[in-house]
Structure 1
């Protein structure tokens, strides 16, 4: 089968491990994210996210087709929905879409964005991805998601997993991270000691088998924000994350990575 391409036309679309509604949700697509279609079944398509190359099965009605050239152009989409709880788009039929921060806004012109032939009027000021303000703004960007509940595979305001949270914060600053914590740990530059950590450094944690299973963003060498039951702020030291509510360590520190010097 010849590969084709699409773009997410709903606010949030689940990607599943198998082509069935009962299957595990492995991640989510946000509005405007572009995909390569790898396989087509009657009710499910296997796709690969153009942003992080993560794969999963999707209901094809949640996509609209785009050309190969549009797919390539979308790699450079630098306008996003901002960190706000009130990001609304109005389609040409008058219906309203409420989209999540970090959603792509392709082909912006004259207050509209466009997905294939569908146009949407912006009800907000778009955010332009920019690494330049990372050091000054990353902590506030991460804290915007404070208390959002944990959801396995989640990447939106109603549920985030640990790596989805970190990926989404960094996307706002034009830093493309992989999807899973173990994959993210292969990116960035190693920070030798926690005491050298800065706001925006990313800490990774492993299990008893030595596999990296958790990730969070440092706010300082002593404090971390991460998604565990919810997006929360906890103490951290060389041993790991200490949860004051539980009175114990919950995650064992493995390594720290830096993405912006």
Structure 2
């Protein structure tokens, strides 16, 4: 097996080979993957974080040992916290990288770490994900992404989709979710009544065929924050999401799940 790690701020994961192919997800710095196939300059990979699969440009990654892959995949790593100003300095190379919140900082020790032969100095705020301060910090993390534009396959404050937003939010607290909304709907515990929901619960929405097509995070029993056009706060009731801007229901409620 061949393994690798994202060594750029963010790279696209595509549905097929080529720069014109649909972006289905993104890898943030420090996230790892297993290589399953190769065509020309593209690698077909399975992400270590959520087992999602897609094609990446082989020039946008670096190889990784199996031991380092397993540690980063299976053990909680420090991540870049809520800031758009975090940076990495490549020591001895006079190069820098801007980091996005949620990026991995593998083996971080006193603000420094190494990947292969490259030494990095981290400048910014970091956190070791855990649930200890979930109730105190959850809403701040959620609101950090307010007004981030919707981007199919996106996982950053500069472009994000509904399930990417949910996944990235929970990554800050060490709770691993799958990538797509329909996959996430299979995780957690069902909440029977919306009135019993609390901050952090996930609400899922379906289409006329009964397929899960959208997910958002409940702030309380009557408000939801979700990525639809942009990350926004809307009203929710037993029917679904009601948009004040459009003066109509936009998403039909299917199920509410609790992760923590």
Quickly name the TM-score band, shorter chain normalised. Answer: over 0.9
Deviations 1:46-78 (A, max 9, x none): 011100000110011111111111110012132
Secondary structure of 2:54's counterpart equals strand
Alignment of 1:150-229 (within 5 A): 150-229=150-229
Deviations 1:208-249 (A, max 9, x none): 110000000000000000000000000000000000000000
Which of 52, 55, 80 is the equivalent residue of 1:54? Answer: 52
Looking at structure 1, the residues matched to 245 and 258 of structure 2 have their Cα atoms a distance apart, in angstroms, of: 29
Looking at structure 2, the residues matched to 62 and 119 of structure 1 have their Cα atoms a distance apart, in angstroms, of: 18
RMSD (Å), alpha carbons: 0.8
> Which residue of structure 2 lines up, in the alignment, with residue 37 of structure 1?
35
> Which residue of structure 1 lines up, in the alignment, with residue 147 of structure 2?
147
Looking at structure 1, the residues matched to 193 and 116 of structure 2 have their Cα atoms a distance apart, in angstroms, of: 48
Looking at structure 2, the residues matched to 52 and 253 of structure 1 have their Cα atoms a distance apart, in angstroms, of: 25
> Which residue of structure 1 lines up, in the alignment, with residue 81 of structure 2?
82
Q: Which runs of 5+ in 1 are unaligned?
A: none
Looking at structure 2, the residues matched to 230 and 114 of structure 1 have their Cα atoms a distance apart, in angstroms, of: 36
Deviations 1:79-120 (A, max 9, x none): 000011111111121211111100000011232122222111
Looking at structure 1, the residues matched to 214 and 39 of structure 2 have their Cα atoms a distance apart, in angstroms, of: 34
When structure 1 is superposed on structure 2, of 162-171 and 39-48 the one drifting more is 39-48
Q: Which runs of 5+ in 2 are unaligned?
A: none
Looking at structure 2, the residues matched to 212 and 155 of structure 1 have their Cα atoms a distance apart, in angstroms, of: 19
Looking at structure 1, the residues matched to 135 and 184 of structure 2 have their Cα atoms a distance apart, in angstroms, of: 19
> Which residue of structure 2 lines up, in the alignment, with residue 120 of structure 1?
120
Looking at structure 2, the residues matched to 126 and 114 of structure 1 have their Cα atoms a distance apart, in angstroms, of: 16
Equivalenced residues, count: 258
Taking structure 2 as the reference length, the TM-score comes to: 0.97
Taking structure 1 as the reference length, the TM-score comes to: 0.97
Looking at structure 2, the residues matched to 55 and 257 of structure 1 have their Cα atoms a distance apart, in angstroms, of: 25
Looking at structure 1, the residues matched to 178 and 135 of structure 2 have their Cα atoms a distance apart, in angstroms, of: 21
